[in-house]
Structure 1
């Protein structure tokens, strides 16, 4: 903190200098040079760092969807990594006018408008939180905490949840990590919801799901950033591809250049190539509705 002396006879001049130059330590010092009057009560001014917002926020739609908010642990993003462009908490309205189709007969742009999310409660509970929001869209009301507790535990993410759900994010097996698609799909079926875990899923198949208003849970790295996959051998002998900062998001839309996804309670858009680069780290793994 920096201490500045206020002078009775020049209060107005000093305040004017501050308003013109901006409230920084240099401008305050310059405004008070050669002033030798009897001081009164010291004023303490704290330097405030400038905040740089790199996200692009999209305006809300006229009829925003309701989003449930929980007091929860927000997922951090790996330091120094680029992020998707934030689109706000409200999904963009789909354009109902006729739009062109691509070579596969799919619309070149489509957005699912009636899905919302919430902040995950557990530090490593992204899978349970996303599953809760995703299942609710399809009419299945699943309790996030119960679902997390019912996931089997294992050192193999293809079999069950690895580590403690309250551990530090960003590790890889055998340390606290999370869970892959197969155990999530199996547990959803126990709740009565048809769900299928897939790998090596293509962008075309993904767009087909979205074009049919079926959001898809995908396994990515962080907030859709790059990552380094490596092979891990579990105690059962199975070799599994894993990566630090494993995370899941829900894909809800696309256009010719970007993919839209729901990460906790916010929508983001990432260039398609950036999304694909993150999705491929864990083998284009996804969870789709149906069998």
Structure 2
């Protein structure tokens, strides 16, 4: 069965997101753990989180994904910004213990002209501070498009971060189709080659989620501009190959396309049909 959802707002609570996802044919979803452009977290509501967990079990949901805010930059030049990143991630992971066995995704960050080596060192330090033995959440590094001084455009950079983390068993990867396309990887004509390269550098077992987006830009643009499924430079044929690929199709897919709920519902229905026609379970 295809596990697919989209990005939803937490403004009305956890259970509301579950019901909203179900209403558009989704069986998972992604949400920002706090204000994506700021840092304030929603008031803690354990009962609401437990209600969502029960709802997910009743409706056979896949794992949901909490997304860290865009302002979280663990490799910022400013120590205050790095401390904000550490505190925010620590608090997010503590809260997610009340909604166990889910996923938490973050952008590795931008080194702001300090250099990739320094950026990776800071990210590793942050993860080594906030991860803890026995935690029930898998923390995911997102593959990036390489805009500005972003860390994580190449598989090698992601691998170097993971290599430096002490509790590696709690760290994985969220592969973003738009990002790796704009980062220069050819998932249109050489998907098998890209996956083989990822496997040799990081390991396909490290992929725990897919951000599923088309791209407004051609391969290698390094701009990070998402497009609706089938309306961008990647195209429906290549994206269909991703969602039905034997090495990826068991993963949860999260749409981050420029849509409202009705648009997401149409994309989900379209992708379910492609999956059903290509994957015989």
Normalising by structure 2, we get a TM-score of: 0.25
Asked which structure has the greater CA Rg, the reply is 1
Decide which structure has greater helix share: 2
